[in-house]
Structure formats: C-alpha cells, structure tokens
C-alpha cells in the first residue's frame, strides 16, 4: 500500500472533526495517508491509520506565506525522507512550486500528484489585497507553470479546472472527481420550504468580490416580488463587506436581507432545506461544493456560467445557469423561477437525484485509487 503525503496550505480545525476523520478513514482503505497542513497550533497526532502533521498558522498573512514557503522547501522533503513516502499529493499549483522544486533538487524519486481545486490565479487576485497585483500574478503564473509541468499526474474537480491547467501547456491526462463531501445528512433532510412567507433565496460562501454576493442583492432589488435573501459566510474583505452593506441599504428588500456568519453543518442543512433557491454568483469557481450540498437537499440552484458547477447542471432540468456577472440575466432568471415555482420544485428534485447517483463516497475513493495507480 502506497504511503501518500497530502500537502496543503489549508488550515484545519483541531480537534479534528468527524467529517474529516471519515474522509481519511475512507482513504486509508487504499493508501497510508500522512497529512501535512496547518492549524491553530503545532501538533502531530494519529487518527486510525492517518498521521496528521500540523504546523501553526500565523495571523499575519505575509509572515504566514513566508512560513509556508519555508516549510514546503525544507520540511516537506524531510517528511518524505523520514516516512519513506511514495506519493506526494499537493493541492495548490502556486505554493506547490516550492515543494516540487525542492524535491527535484534533492533528486527525490517520489511521485508528484497535483490537484487543481479552483482558479489558482484569479482567486488570489480577487480576494487578497495585493500591493502590485500584476507582479504577483506574473509570479504566480511562473510558479504554477513549473508545478504543472513537473507533476506526474493531475487531478481535476471539473472541466473548468482542466481548461485552466491546459492553458499552461499541460498535455497529459486528468483524473476528475469532486472534493470530499459526505452527503448522508443532506440527502435525508426534510424540505420545510412550504412554510415560507417570502420566496427565500440563500447564498453560502465568503463575502468577497470573487464570490459576488452583491450581484444577487442588486438583482433582487429589480424584482417586485416578496423576496428574502440570506447571505451566509465569513467576511474576510471589509472593503467589500461595506460595499455590500451599502447595496443592501439601497434595496427595496433591505428589511428582508440578512447577513449571517459561518454556521455549523446541521444548521446549514436547515437553511438549504427551507430555501426556495440557492444562488452561486461567483465570477470564478473551480466547482463550488455548496452547489452539491444544496442540490442534495432538493433546493433548486442557480449558478454563474464561469464555474465548474456547470458540469452538474442541465439548464432548467437539474438547475439553472445565468451568464457570468450579468445583472440583467440573473434578474430575469430569478424572476422566471419565482413565476414558475412548480417547475423549480421538480428541478430541485432532479438535482438531488443527480448528486445522489454521482457524488458517492465510493466514487471519491475510486477516484483517488485510480490517481495513485497511474503513478505507482
């Protein structure tokens, strides 16, 4: 059985939650997992057959990024050697550069799997405050190009992410499967939509320019129907948050637009189950797991055309699609859905059936098995 080191600049909560434990219990059936990631404190722990190596995430963004570079250059190769790792699985083509370059310079024979989860250039450009964005983007493209060209195999989560990787000259094959989602709780959730006094719309995600919730506020402001909107998610960009609040204050529906912080899974399921429509308005998105979650509860979904979630949608059958960042098209689609709610209920049920058949734990496990078999 291959020893696989999963490396990511991701921050995990500690203690490790049950959902994350379940993920690596599944993966431990096909490999021996080692997790190299970040948390609130430095910690090494073992859960079942999975070893977690956590490094402390720093609050200062620049210092934390420098720490990631240092750890990827020195600690990742050390971990590979210490634990006799067979495969290194890296999530982000930008930061992966430092680990891959360091491993190559050390003539390591370890196999490199690169995972493309999203728009790795635009995500940074749209969500982070960069002093000179053009220079950063050029550097990120150079880093990503090196990572992609030196990977033994690439995993994608959608056709959208595959096209991004191909733009860097990648000619190899992809293994495509979505991110880990345990849908058990979502699929058994009971609909409580009939109790709504308003047509209830929800948005779930970071309140940032890339995620684009302000577009939804502007769109519903052009519709005279009884509408409520709940925007659920963290607010890392205060400038954008203030712009959003201003749009809300100018909306005819301002009394029925609510901002909610991050919530736990059980409460989120209740939100999906009570909503008449979920909207993903992102300007760029690798997939959007929230779309799959919403579909699993039979909530109708309306998504931007510039997201990997278009792979999940047959327009007007398993969901709805609007033209990316097009205010009028979004407004028209919302109005059409409100005016044809009997049809949208069936679309929600079709979406639920689709994800129940295609986004199973077995498919997730098979995807990784195929990925590792190709490089072994």
Q: What is the DSSP string of 209-236?
A: TTT-HHHHHHHHTT--S-EEEEEES---
Residue 116, H or E segment: strand 111-116
> Residue 117 in contact with residue 91, Cβ under 8 Å?
yes
> Residue 338 in contact with residue 223, Cβ under 8 Å?
yes
> Residue 283 in contact with residue 213, Cβ under 8 Å?
no
Q: What is the DSSP string of 31-44?
A: SEEEEEEEESS-EE
Of the chain, the end-to-end C-alpha distance in Å amounts to 10
Q: How many CB atoms lie within 10 A of CB 72?
A: 23
Question: What six digits make up the tokens of 7?
Answer: 């490396």
Cross-strand pairs, 344 = none
Q: Cα–Cα distance between 80 and 3 in angstroms, integer?
A: 9
Amino acid 309: pLDDT: 94
pLDDT digits (tens, 9 = 90+) for 281-324: 999 998 999 999 999 999 999 999 999 999 999 999 999 999 99
Amino acid 139: pLDDT: 85
Domain range list for the chain: 3-181+360-375, 184-358
> What's the whole-number average pLDDT of the chain?
93
Phi/psi at 108 (5° precision):
-70, 140
Q: What percent of the chain has pLDDT over 70?
A: 95
CATH architecture of 184-358: 3-Layer(aba) Sandwich (3.40)
Phi/psi at 36 (5° precision):
-110, 105
Q: How many CB atoms lie within 10 A of CB 239?
A: 10
Amino acid 121: pLDDT: 54
Q: Give the CATH number of domain 3-181+360-375.
A: 3.40.50.2000
Write out residues in the chain with pLDDT < 70, as ranges: 119-133, 195
pTM attached to this predicted model: 0.90
Alpha carbon of residue 366 to chain centroid: 20
- List the one residue out of 153, 176, 126, 159 whose CA is nearest residue 286: 159
| Burial class, 63, CB count within 10 angstroms (exposed 0-12 / middle 13-18 / buried 19+) | exposed
Amino acid 122: pLDDT: 53
| Helical segments of the chain, H only | 18-27, 61-70, 76-83, 93-105, 122-127, 133-149, 159-166, 184-187, 213-220, 238-249, 265-274, 289-296, 327-339, 341-358, 361-375
| Burial class, 18, CB count within 10 angstroms (exposed 0-12 / middle 13-18 / buried 19+) | exposed
Amino acid 119: pLDDT: 58
Question: What six digits make up the tokens of 348?
Answer: 């929600």
Amino acid 317: pLDDT: 98
Residues in the chain: 376
Residue 46, H or E segment: strand 43-47
Establish whether domains 3-181+360-375 and 184-358 are of one fold.
yes
- List the one residue out of 132, 145, 48 whose CA is nearest residue 93: 145
- List the one residue out of 332, 119, 341 whose CA is nearest residue 219: 332
């Amino acid at each position: 059985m291959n020893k696989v080191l999963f490396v990511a600049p991701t921050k995990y909560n500690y203690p490790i939650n049950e959902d994350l434990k379940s993920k690596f219990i599944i993966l431990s059936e096909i490999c021996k997992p080692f997790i190299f990631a970040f948390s609130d404190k430095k910690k090494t722990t073992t859960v079942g057959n999975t070893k977690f190596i956590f490094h402390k995430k720093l609050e200062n963004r620049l210092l934390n990024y420098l720490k990631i570079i240092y750890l990827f250059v020195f600690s990742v190769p050390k971990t590979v050697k210490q634990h006799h790792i067979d495969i290194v699985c890296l999530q982000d083509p930008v930061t992966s550069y430092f680990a891959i370059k360091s491993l190559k310079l050390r003539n390591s024979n370890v196999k490199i799997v690169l995972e493309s989860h999203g728009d790795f250039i635009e995500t940074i450009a749209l969500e982070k405050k960069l002093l000179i964005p053009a220079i950063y983007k050029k550097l990120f493209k150079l880093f990503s190009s090196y990572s992609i060209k030196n990977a033994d195999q690439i995993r994608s989560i959608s056709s959208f992410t595959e096209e991004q990787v191909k733009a860097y000259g990648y000619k190899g094959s992809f293994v495509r499967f979505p991110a880990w989602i345990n849908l058990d709780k979502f699929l058994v959730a009971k609909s409580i939509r009939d109790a709504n006094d308003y047509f209830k719309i929800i948005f779930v995600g970071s309140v940032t320019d890339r995620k684009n919730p302000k577009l939804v506020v502007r769109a519903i402001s052009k519709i005279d129907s009884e509408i409520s909107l709940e925007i659920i998610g963290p607010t890392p960009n205060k400038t954008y948050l203030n712009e959003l609040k201003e749009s809300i204050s100018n909306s005819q529906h301002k009394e029925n637009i609510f901002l909610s912080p991050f919530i736990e899974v059980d409460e989120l399921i209740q939100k999906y189950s009570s909503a008449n429509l979920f909207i993903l308005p992102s300007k760029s998105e690798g997939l959007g797991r929230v779309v799959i979650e919403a579909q699993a509860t039979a909530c109708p979904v309306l998504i931007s055309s510039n997201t990997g979630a278009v792979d999940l949608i047959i327009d007007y059958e398993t969901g709805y699609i609007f033209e990316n960042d097009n205010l009028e098209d979004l407004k028209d689609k919302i109005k059409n859905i409100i005016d044809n709610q009997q049809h949208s209920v069936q679309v929600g049920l079709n979406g639920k059936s689709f994800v129940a058949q295609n986004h199973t734990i077995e498919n997730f496990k098979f995807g990784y098995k195929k990925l590792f078999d190709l490089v072994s």
